[in-house]
């Protein structure tokens, strides 16, 4: 059975990755900080699908947490076939007003952690084969504070790594959803409907994860779920940056 490690598996897209992968018969390593939520999901997936599920409690914005997960990935006795770098959170967009310690945690979780977990995964996957999925965002194609800068880094790095490691049998796919119904916005203190986003722009997690797994299976470097977001991103490239930046101030993704 293939084994997949999913970060941020206690909620939202990460929990949905875990559900769909277990449904396809994959054994799992679930990573996040909320032990209770991870254990509940692990019990559900073991009972429903008969797969092996490990729970790894780690704060990926800390040295200790990342080190713990790197150690598991690098374990030669229990090699992984898939890594899903998904854990993330958002900050208010007014960078200069944010606490710099929060910005550093955000950068570590969105950039440093996926880079270090990818480095460890490539160490065991090269030659043997494997798939890496990096959950980025359509925000990575526009200019909007540090969140979009972090996601832009993840998209560019994934695109390069997918070409670079194809000959070693490893694919790297950046998944770039727009707004998705998860706990992401409520964790930022935004009640449902307060995000300033029209209803038609919301995607469902099961759809995003299906698109992501399909794109990874096809070895795609970057994928944007849904035609409407593909069209919006293509359109944003046709207007001056000042205009797309002004539009991007609306809503939060």
Ligand X SMILES: NC(=O)c1ccc[n+]([C@@H]2O[C@H](COP(=O)([O-])OP(=O)(O)OC[C@H]3O[C@@H](n4cnc5c(N)ncnc54)[C@H](OP(=O)(O)O)[C@@H]3O)[C@@H](O)[C@H]2O)c1
Q: What minimum distance in Å lies between the beta carbon of 206 and ligand X?
A: 12
R_g of the chain computed on alpha carbons: 17
Choose the catalytic residue: 147, 165, 207, 229: 147
Rounded to a whole number of angstroms, the minimum distance from the CB of residue 209 to ligand X is 10
For ligand X, give the closer residue by CB, 11 or 122: 11
Smallest distance from ligand X to CB 213, Å: 15
Q: Catalog residues that contact ligand X under the rule CB under 6 A.
A: 7-14, 32-34, 37, 59-61, 86-89, 109, 135, 137, 177, 179-180, 182-184, 187, 253
| Least Cβ distance, residue 141 to ligand X (angstroms) | 11
The smaller minimum CB distance to ligand X, of residues 52 and 188, is found at 188
Is 147 an annotated catalytic residue? yes
Shorter beta-carbon distance to ligand X: residue 44 or 168: 44
CB of 168 to ligand X, least distance (A): 26
DSSP, residue by residue, the chain:
--EEEEESTTSHHHHHHHHHHHHTT-EEEEEES-HHHHHHHHHHHHHHH---EEEEE--TTSHHHHHHHHHHHT-TTS--SEEEE-------S-GGGS-HHHHHHHHIIIIIHHHHHHHHHHHHHTTT-EEEEEE--GGGGS--HHHHHHHHHHHHHHHHHHHHTGGGTEEEEEE--SEEESSHHHHTTPPTTTT---GGGEEEHHHHHHHHHHHHHTT-SEE--SHHHHHHHHHHTTS-HHHHHHHHTSS--
Return the C-alpha torsion angle 25, 29, 32, 37, nearest 10. 50
Residue with smallest beta-carbon separation from ligand X: 12
Indicate the residue among 14 and 130 with the shorter CB distance to ligand X. 14
Rank residues 99 and 127 by Cβ distance to ligand X and give the closer one.
99
CA–CA dist 223, 225 (Å, integer): 6
205, 16 Cβ separation under 8 angstroms = yes
Give the catalytic positions in this structure. 147
């Amino acid at each position: 059975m293939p084994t997949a490690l999913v970060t941020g598996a206690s909620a939202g897209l990460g929990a949905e990755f875990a559900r769909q992968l277990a449904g396809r018969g994959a054994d799992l390593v679930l990573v996040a900080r909320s032990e209770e939520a991870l254990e509940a999901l692990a019990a559900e997936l073991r009972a429903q699908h008969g797969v092996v599920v490990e729970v790894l409690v780690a704060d990926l914005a800390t040295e200790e947490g990342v080190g713990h997960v790197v150690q598991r990935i690098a374990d030669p006795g229990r090699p992984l076939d898939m890594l899903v770098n998904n854990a993330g959170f958002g900050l208010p967009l007014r960078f200069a007003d944010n606490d710099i310690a929060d910005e550093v945690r955000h950068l570590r979780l969105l950039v440093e952690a996926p880079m270090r977990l990818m480095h460890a995964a490539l160490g065991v996957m090269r030659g043997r084969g494997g798939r890496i999925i990096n959950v980025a965002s359509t925000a990575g194609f526009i200019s909007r504070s540090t969140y979009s800068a972090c996601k832009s880094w993840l998209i560019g790095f994934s695109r390069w790594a997918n070409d670079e490691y194809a000959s070693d049998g490893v694919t790297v796919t950046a998944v770039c959803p727009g707004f998705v119904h998860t706990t992401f916005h409520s964790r930022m203190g935004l009640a449902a409907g307060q995000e300033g986003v029209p209803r038609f722009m919301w995607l469902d997690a099961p759809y995003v994860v299906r698109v992501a797994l399909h794109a990874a299976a096809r070895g795609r470097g970057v994928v944007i779920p849904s035609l409407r977001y593909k069209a919006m991103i293509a359109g944003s490239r046709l207007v001056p940056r000042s205009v797309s930046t002004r539009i991007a101030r609306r809503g939060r993704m």
